[in-house]
Amino acid sequence: MNSIVQSFTTILIKQKELKYHFPNILREPASLQHIAKAEDALGLTFNAELRELYLFADGTNIDSVTPSGLTGLIPIHNFLSLEDAVSYYAQSMEFQESFHNWTIDFQPGKQLFPFLEDGTGNCYWVDLNEETPNYGRIFWTNTFGSDPDYTYSSLTNMFEVIADAYRIGIVFLDDNGYLNCDFKAFDELSEKKQ
């Protein structure tokens, strides 16, 4: 399995080949001090994978003018800066029901870190609830009517799937230059890589 940095580098190379906007808005790496500040603000501790991700890049610079089809790491999902993630966390925790999976009557603890979101409540979170079986797994909240649930075994696993999706053409630009995806093929790839 590739490291997060290796997978992210592959993603950026493919995005540049596509002439996609995302690499232009990627922020500089976070410092250890910035990571510690985010950890303190949220009362949690980053795992090694999340630390690796933010030491590679501190999210993206998102403005209110650029269409979301040009800013996502995956279609429409923005890579949150540490500062944006802290704000997003505070807003999201006001809606505890959005974390509850009613089918299996499960809700993770509050030690979650949001890193990819689409602005409408669909978000990927790293589970940082220590000493639980889901520690390090990726939890997905959504507004599609599906129960929130774990989608990837780890951040490394998720980034490898995304890199593979770019590499084999599952993720592509549409006629308007917006990032798009064969979602069925992406889901199949995700399941295969679990």
User: Which CATH number is 122's domain given?
Assistant: 3.40.1580.10
How do the pLDDT tens digits run along the chain, 194 residues long? Answer: 799 999 999 999 999 999 999 999 999 999 999 999 999 999 999 999 999 999 999 999 999 899 999 999 999 999 999 999 999 999 999 999 999 999 999 999 999 999 999 988 899 999 999 999 999 999 999 988 889 999 999 999 999 999 999 999 999 999 999 999 999 999 999 999 87
Phi-psi map region of 128: left, alpha, beta (phi>0 left; psi -120 to 50 alpha): alpha
* Closest of 106, 107, 123 to residue 115, by C-alpha: 123
Q: Which amino acid is at 101?
A: N
pLDDT computed for residue 1 by the predictor: 75
pLDDT computed for residue 180 by the predictor: 97
As a whole number of Å, the CA-based R_g of the chain is: 16
Could you tell me where the DSSP H helices lie in 27-129?
32-42, 48-56, 82-92
Q: Which domain holds residue 167?
A: 4-193
* Closest of 186, 167, 183, 182 to residue 18, by C-alpha: 167
pLDDT computed for residue 117 by the predictor: 97
Residue 135: CB atoms within 10 A of its CB come to: 16
d(CA 9, CA 16): 11
Tell me how many domains the chain contains. 1
pLDDT computed for residue 28 by the predictor: 98
pLDDT computed for residue 185 by the predictor: 97
